[in-house]
Chain A
């Protein structure tokens, strides 16, 4: 070990900087007091995210960008949704004659009181254990990884005692069934919001080359910015590559909607060329035809679900019914086909209570709901 005139042991410092936290704390405590102080400052400087972010920036590239005639991006954000509901009817008819087996369906308040989703949120760990998540608290897996649960969130904190290599390769899957939504914090600090009827598979600890996760259903991501460490989301046979940004991926059926809020992503459809997205744009991949199209949208409308807001833009009752089915874990059917075409425009905040929601929708005056167990029937308004 080399000694500086000031007795600072730099070799040791450099070695200490690389050690995992738990081990390092013990070793630092063994340093002389004045070195401890210097080391602490050094460590904080090394970890300072502002500095890290700044030093990553490609100044030469930025200069080229500035002094080339390209319009700078216009950032639009979604303003808080107005909580009003306007029903615009297309294809709305009075149906006096037909009545569908009414006796089987009863008053919704009575039938749906106390309705809860049938399954629970589940975590299937890399070593094959299935954990049902329905309570808060700290859960410790047998392999030593600590999973911290907070009211509706799952956070991973790797146990300090565990060496860095031990966890690479372990893939966990979080299953969010109908009736639930969940938030997950990944080991790099990125956050993922999962909508009802969705799944995410992710490594407990990301590998150094890239951060890769796989999803089904719908998820909104806020990815920690790191140009040296690409973040990729695979969905079906397609892939979204990310550079530190926030975006939504919706893939319930064969179609994939990728919506960019901030930053930059590259969407690669299966066996096709990648498409670059800019904020407030969305690519729609048609799973049946294989065609990908991009359009301008207001991103906020498409991520409103994560705050349990429903934004309807010329939304048909058929589509609304699908959303309610996933959100509340119910089954919806229509007394008449024509009702499926009723269109809605506006925004609503969804509540935990499905009966309140349905009552809200009934206010529009063109439909009426009845229920039996968890089956809901949509009838024309004047039906009793």
Chain B
């Protein structure tokens, strides 16, 4: 049994909220640089250059990459031999978000009720996903998610007979319909299988994988390559103004499913793919 205090959790979450919003991952930067070489649209090339410059300013001046500093989505992998001391774990995560967003001058984008819509003023509550794992560590991943790309995400329960062709069609149509709205070049997270909510969570988790790392499942990895090629053939391009780089990556995660079901979830992310993690 190992003890981790809520104060450690608060401090870690607060730091990760800021780091995620100020520092674009090296994998994303490398992907944008590659995209700049590949893009044939001059406007597209210029936009990608602006995104690189933007990331540099954000990193150097500790200002947010994007003004939409997101819904704080927090993944906890809690070792079953950890004892959380000093208070409520989820309250600690929310306190970390509160401090991180306040001290980092991050935008508060959460409203208290879907109809009432009064800003909570501190970007809480976070959306927290917890997994209990073996061991005596707590892994915390903070993944702030912007509204623009989240709004263009979609889920569909396909018939098993529609198969992989049906999955491809749904993913490509989701990206096509989204067009310029999710701020391309995007990262496409796809969750296939499981139940309704499992597919959605898989799609979100797919966005956390380092860009360019293929799926562990060979069929999923093959589908990623095929989807990326089709999506980049749509012509949407950087910011939807026309070009060859619409997506930087497609990440697919699969899960066993019911004999009657073929759920597919597509979670879109803008180029500001923000997620940072720490291991306590």
Are A and B a genuine interacting pair, yes or no?
Answer: no
